[in-house]
Amino acid sequence: MTVGNMESAELFDAGKKGRGLRATKELTAGEVVFAEPSFSAVVFDSLATQVCHSCFRHQANLHRCAQCKFAHYCDRTCQTACWDEHKQECGAIKKISKVPSENVRLAARVLWRIHKDTGIVSDSQLISVDQLQDHVADLSEEDLKQLKTDVHTFLEYWSCGRQQHSADYISHIFGIIKCNGFTLSDQRGLQAVGVGLFPNLCLVNHDCWPNCTVILNHGNQAAVSSALHSKRRIELRALGKISEGEELTVSYVDFLNLSADRQRKLKERFHFECSCEHCSQHIKDDLMMAAADSEGNKPSADQVKEVTAFSKDCLEKIERSRIEKDYHQVMKLCCECLEKQGNLLADTNLYKLRVLSVASEVLSYLQSFPEAANYARRMVEGYTKLYHPSNAQLGMAIMRAGVIHWHAGQIELGHSMICKAYAILLITHGPNHAITRDLESMRVQTEMELKMFKQNECEYHTMRDAALKNQPMVSSS
């Protein structure tokens, strides 16, 4: 699909939700509805030296801009590709001798681009950037205080002989960024590394059980011929069959929260009341708060209330220990919490799932793979009962669990999980995304190892142990 092509979607009046996008033809699972380059985007302050400011890939040994000494790039190709975006920023940073926050930098980049290209930069862009909703009037007192600070910083940053703007207009741009900024992840989908504005994507309304998903395609700057290079862009992908005329939706928040919590988060961040089917009918809330049912013996309401309160407190302690990188304390707390939850909370209960997730992640980091695999398997079983079957986060969780089982020597289950994850990510990310390509390599490798395992289990484990110890292996044949 051509980047920016909007043949599969059109703007329409979505009633109480305002404007929205709907399909102009029938779409199938994994089909790209549209791809859109960013209007403007910036790397987070904390990762400015670790992430390329052009392609947003996490890389070692980045090259620093010789002029402002702030921006970093994979190579000269990425730097050249980004120069139009960085040129004005580079001069402003040099003149004030300091780097403002990512919000101020993004607001400045947006305005520089509006001055250069206007708010609409292509025929396929359906709305001007400065016509997006800002919700400044709905901001809390604390947010308004931060907005005032950002505007003041912006005026210092911007006051270098350029066109001036009123505080109200600058506030409007900051409001647009706050409500419409899309978080950008690195090439492996493992870390949020920046934020960008994508005007057409901003027109796609929310649903907690959506029919589309959004991924970042980092583009390709590696080809020898610049004619073969492709831009960084988001892709809106169909999660299943979508009928012609059906509204296109994405989820603005993680589904793995109670409906009331999702509604609260959406109200606080995006300033609307979610009335989607899953929120209005509280679908799956019962599973997310489920008590264990062991042979018909359910715990009392008081027992569930007590263990839930204990779990909340324990998760706060776990998070503090994670921040302090005291991983043995993290595991001690996880084990205590899981023991307390025991036969009181079901494996779909959010508090149990959160502990299982942390335990599998930390044990994997500590290379205790057999123990990690047990927790990861239980976590995936719970996720599968809660998430949409083509949810990207479900696919990533199954992928991680599959890799853990593979490292634990449980090749059959590991390969099965990797295959399931691959099927999901083919839909959510497509076959050419870096994550999907990595997963395809793992799928081929584990398939080969599984054949070896079935032919001679003893020799397979001998080979595997030798590989782990990085020692040569003498074949038994």
pLDDT, tens digit only, all 477 positions of the chain:
556 578 899 988 887 778 999 999 999 999 999 999 999 999 999 999 999 999 999 989 999 999 999 999 999 989 998 998 899 999 999 888 899 999 999 999 999 999 888 888 888 999 999 999 999 999 999 999 999 999 999 998 886 555 788 999 999 999 999 999 999 998 888 789 999 999 999 999 999 999 999 999 887 655 555 555 567 899 999 999 999 999 999 999 999 999 999 999 999 999 999 999 999 999 999 999 999 987 778 899 999 999 999 999 999 999 999 999 999 999 999 999 999 999 899 999 999 999 999 999 999 999 999 999 999 999 999 999 999 999 999 999 999 999 999 999 999 999 999 999 999 999 999 999 989 999 999 999 999 999 999 998 888 888 877 776 764 433 333
Q: Count other C-beta atoms under 10 Å from residue 309's C-beta.
A: 11
**304 lies in the same domain as 447:** yes
Judge contact between 187 and 54, C-beta under 8 A. Answer: no
**234 lies in the same domain as 354:** no
pTM score, whole prediction: 0.90
Residue 370 CA to residue 59 CA, distance in Å, equals 31
**19 lies in the same domain as 62:** yes
Using the 3D structure, point to which of 222, 256, 290 is the last residue of a domain.
256
**22 lies in the same domain as 124:** yes
Range of 342's domain?
277-457
**216 lies in the same domain as 172:** yes
Using the 3D structure, point to which of 227, 256, 285 is the last residue of a domain.
256
Instruction: Report CA torsion sign: 349, 351, 352, 358.
Output: positive
What beta strand segments (E) does 218-334 contain? Answer: 233-238, 249-250
**79 lies in the same domain as 214:** yes
Judge contact between 55 and 219, C-beta under 8 A. Answer: yes
**246 lies in the same domain as 329:** no
pLDDT of residue 117: 84
Distances (CA, A) of 154 to 47, 68, 144, 160: 21, 18, 15, 11
**Residue 182 region by backbone torsions, left for phi larger than 0, else alpha for psi between -120 and 50, else beta:** beta
At 397, which CATH number? Answer: 1.25.40.10
**427 lies in the same domain as 367:** yes
Determine the Cα angle at 382 with ends 248 and 332, to 5°: 125
Q: Which long-range contacts (CB under 8 A, 24 or more apart) does 45-48 make?
A: 45/99, 45/101, 45/102, 47/191, 47/193, 47/194, 48/72, 48/99
Residue 292 CA to residue 273 CA, distance in Å, equals 32
Would residue 470 count as lying in a domain? no
Would residue 467 count as lying in a domain? no
pLDDT of residue 189: 81
In eight-state DSSP terms, residue 294 is B
Judge contact between 147 and 177, C-beta under 8 A. Answer: no
Task: Report the interhelical angle of 141-158 vs 167-180 (nearest 10°).
Answer: 120
Q: Count other C-beta atoms under 10 Å from residue 427's C-beta.
A: 22
pLDDT of residue 472: 42
At 174, which CATH number? Answer: 2.170.270.10
Would residue 474 count as lying in a domain? no
Would residue 52 count as lying in a domain? yes
**234 lies in the same domain as 356:** no
Would residue 192 count as lying in a domain? yes
Would residue 268 count as lying in a domain? no
pLDDT of residue 473: 39
Structural domain tally of the chain? 2
Would residue 291 count as lying in a domain? yes
**149 lies in the same domain as 37:** yes
Would residue 464 count as lying in a domain? no
**223 lies in the same domain as 105:** yes
**299 lies in the same domain as 377:** yes
